[in-house]
Structure 1
């Protein structure tokens, strides 16, 4: 299976051909995929070199000129390093664009901590009005990229990863999808966490929701999954900083007694390079670890057929 990022250049190249408003801004990373597009659209495919603040500023400038900019590099260089430019050049100036990241939380362990960005979504949460897509499969990435570019002048972040689920689902850029139904709690699996969550909850009496658009947060889907019970237990499993969306869950269930457990990437830096799989296990996001953490939180009543 190809990766989400493998879809980026072909999809954007087609969009450049189809829509004269689309522009692409790169900071050296990923430029080889746009060789043909640079030749065909030299005024709308711009490589600024390794200058990430300029990358974001140039994208915002194109938006001010009426274009729909798509800005791409690794997440740590796209969100963390030029955060001031995101805040001011896009937010303060009131323009929109599409930020598309790669490398996610720890997709390239050999690159070290400089190339890891588990806090990107939490950081964007400090700003107003950003839509955040977290696809879990290359097909979903392609669909959400097209959705993001077509989203008028909105501010959109698309988080690509080498981690992926085996099967794509029909995502629409808005709703959470119900995958399983149960009575003893709700587990929300974000993007590439779905397969691990499904394996972890096999045989448990819990509902599973699949989320690929986490901002805005689909409060209605969560409330439907919780149902009309006297209280609610929710676990959210995210491929970035643990607890990023616990406040969103709390807001959705503000009028109901509830408990929420946020699972994701820990704050402690793992200083050995290792592999993606080793980082996943070390952060407790593999299926076996998730099962223990989920059942520990929800209790024995999660076993299928057991109702307390």
Structure 2
């Protein structure tokens, strides 16, 4: 199976051929994959070099001319390093574009902490008007990218090498989908967390919701799943900073007695490279760690 990043390159190259409104801005990362697209569309495929503030500013400038920019690099260099440009050049100027990241929270541990971005979604959450997609499979990444490219708003698509075994129907109008139904609580699995959540909750009487679009947050879908069970016990499992969506879940359940547990990447920096699976286990996001923490929360 190809990776989400492979699918992004193939899909974006095709979209550039089909839609003259689209432009692509790169900062060296993934440039080799776009060689053909750069030759075919030299006026709409721009590599600015290792200049991430310019990367975002150039994309927003293209948007001001009427183009639909797709802006791409690692998450830490796309959201964290040029955050002021994301806030001002896109948000303050009121223009749209598609930010597509790679690297996620710790896809490439050997790259060190500079290439890890567990706080990207939480940081974007401080800004108004961003749609955030977190696909869990290359097919989902393609569908969400196509939707984002065809629109006009500000969209962040967060890609990862971690994937679920199979794709599920996605789209900003889909909301949270019900994967498993139960009466003892609700577990929201975001993007590539779904397979581990399903393994962790096997045999537990819980509803499992699957989320690939996390902003806007599907509060109505959560209320439907949680309503009618007395006190609503909700666990949100996200592949980025733990607690990023707990406020949104609390707001959605304001009219119901409820408890919310946010599971995700911890704030403590892990200073050993290791492999991605070791980072998942260290943050308690493997099936075993999730089983222990979800079970303990629901038993209280």
TM-score scaled by structure 2? Answer: 0.99
Check the 8 A contact 2:119/2:240 in 1, yes or no. yes
Q: Measure, in 2, the Cα distance between the counterparts of 1:272 and 1:173.
A: 37
Tell me the equivalent position of 2:33. 33
SS in 1 for 2:293: helix
Tell me the equivalent position of 2:70. 70
How is 1:52-71 mapped onto 2 (pairs within 5 angstroms)? 52-71=52-71
- Cα deviation, 1:174-221, whole Å, max 9, x if unaligned, reads 311100000000000000000000000000000000000000001111
Return the offset for 1:78: 0.2
User: Does residue 290 of the first structure (1) align with residue 275 of the second (2)?
Assistant: no
Q: Measure, in 2, the Cα distance between the counterparts of 1:173 and 1:42.
A: 31
Return the offset for 1:230: 2.6
User: Does residue 171 of the first structure (1) align with residue 184 of the second (2)?
Assistant: no
Return the offset for 1:231: 1.8
How is 1:127-206 mapped onto 2 (pairs within 5 angstroms)? 127-151=127-151, 153-174=152-173, 175-206=175-206
Give ranges in structure 2 of 5+ residues lacking alignment.
none
TM-score scaled by structure 1? Answer: 0.96
Task: State the number of aligned residues.
Answer: 299
CA RMSD of the aligned region, Å? 0.7
Runs of 4 or more off by more than 3 Å in structure 1?
A: none
- Cα deviation, 1:280-308, whole Å, max 9, x if unaligned, reads 000000001100100100018xxxxxxxx
Q: Measure, in 2, the Cα distance between the counterparts of 1:232 and 1:8.
A: 38
Give ranges in structure 1 of 5+ residues lacking alignment.
301-308
Tell me the equivalent position of 1:303. none
Tell me the equivalent position of 2:251. 251
SS in 2 for 1:264: strand
- Cα deviation, 1:63-105, whole Å, max 9, x if unaligned, reads 0000000000000000000000000000000001000000000
Tell me the equivalent position of 2:232. 232
Check the 8 A contact 2:182/2:206 in 1, yes or no. yes
Q: Measure, in 1, the Cα distance between the counterparts of 2:246 and 2:286.
A: 20
